[in-house]
Structure 1
């Protein structure tokens, strides 16, 4: 039987169920059948939406680059990000991927007028009174290794906190870190692939 879960992966948790490194994993938070795994991953220092499933077709369609799909991130950056930096991000920037330079695809980037409502992070980001830490929304159609962090660093505003909020029409909504909900197959296919 195919099963589908969406979870809010907490900060400093690996996107896997086992670890030899004594680090926290998904198994510390989510009890799912043995054959259910995350589709894709979020870095240990990133948080937010992960899909867990045993549906190999879904896995293929979400991870194969030929099926581009939107991923929306809430990104808190170090410093008062400029309009020029936002435009650079939108046009694509060169980042280093395993020693090779790669130009990111065009994407949507905007500054939040007010900080989004997000759960507290434990531990919180380092707060410095004299340096602003605004939030931007980034909507990408690709997912290279540490792409968002490399992109914001490239334009001079390193990422302090990174939350994946949405994949296509599946959103975190009010889901809190370490929480999970199960979805029906027809719901997940409709929200992801508009079927």
Structure 2
């Protein structure tokens, strides 16, 4: 599913296809690329994107990442201390230190369309970053020679995916939304959903 309501250049399903009655002006905050899964924040409050992703203070995002082959301690440490990734063309960027650890495979993870059950050597990682360059987590694991096989965003600050099933929507009260995201209170008269 595309993290948008309008436009369909890639030919995929859009958020509006979920069958939920979204309020006028709802937009995605912190989009996911087409091949990624997990937590997507939707709001009518235009301040949220600015406060969350354009502020000077960092805000954490946590991903569960299935990578090809077994990750050793040395490569895990490289992720933790920062790796060099290509931003575009000849522009490179060294990622700041992050939290990276090996985790068990997530329980009750649904197969995706086109998945076939097969045994491929792999490792599940939990990676928490505080910035989001284009496809950053995928590029980070590729930089340690472990291509990404599956990427699931499970948290943005204290907003957790939890056991929310794919395609489901959970509404959060505005005060709770801002508290969980560690943002200053919303401006009066603007609601967040």
Partners in 1 of 2:93 and 2:45 — Cα distance?
A: 31
TM-score by length of 2: 0.88
- Describe the shift of the 1:65–1:57 C-alpha distance in structure 2 as closer, same or farther (beyond 3 A): closer
Structure 2: tracts of 5 or more residues without a match: 185-193
* Counterpart secondary structure, 1:97: strand
Partners in 2 of 1:80 and 1:51 — Cα distance?
A: 32
Paired position in structure 2 for 1:117: 107
- Describe the shift of the 1:110–1:77 C-alpha distance in structure 2 as closer, same or farther (beyond 3 A): same
Structure 1: tracts of 5 or more residues without a match: 1-12
Paired position in structure 1 for 2:92: 101
Post-superposition offset of 1:190: 1.1
Q: How many aligned residue pairs are there?
A: 181
Partners in 2 of 1:18 and 1:78 — Cα distance?
A: 34
**Deviating 4+ runs (over 4 angstroms):** 124-128
* Counterpart secondary structure, 2:146: coil
1:25 and 2:14 matched? yes
1:146 and 2:135 matched? yes
- Describe the shift of the 1:20–1:192 C-alpha distance in structure 2 as closer, same or farther (beyond 3 A): closer
Alignment of 1:46-57 (within 5 A): 46-57=36-47
- Describe the shift of the 1:94–1:127 C-alpha distance in structure 2 as closer, same or farther (beyond 3 A): farther
1:180 and 2:169 matched? yes
Partners in 2 of 1:23 and 1:169 — Cα distance?
A: 29
Partners in 2 of 1:35 and 1:24 — Cα distance?
A: 19
* Counterpart secondary structure, 1:181: coil
TM-score by length of 1: 0.87
